[in-house]
Amino acid sequence: MNAATALNKQVERYRQMTGEQRLKIALDLHELSCEVARAGIRHQNPDVDEAGVERLLRRRIEMANLEKQAVEIAIARRLGPIKE
């Protein structure tokens, strides 16, 4: 099976799920990504307590959101006004 076929099958499975099931998957993936980030923070900062890990995690998330916003603004400026 190639990547395109696998993606199509996965999309079809998602379409068969209820909204609640898809939301649970999204929340589980979010929690998994936070746990991976926490592990990285602990590895990079072995002397930081759990409150510090959470603070650094929030900072990483905030920075990622700011970066995303900056990219969106740059794209919008490059595209110019939308003509109707």
pTM over 0.95: no
- Measured between alpha carbons, how far is 57 from 55 in angstroms, rounded to an integer? 5
pLDDT over 90 percentage in the chain: 88
Judged by DSSP in three states, 47 sits in coil
- Measured between alpha carbons, how far is 38 from 58 in angstroms, rounded to an integer? 10
- The answer, yes or no, to whether residue 80 has pLDDT greater than 90, is no
- Measured between alpha carbons, how far is 48 from 18 in angstroms, rounded to an integer? 41
Q: What is the average pLDDT across 17-32?
A: 96
- Measured between alpha carbons, how far is 78 from 34 in angstroms, rounded to an integer? 33
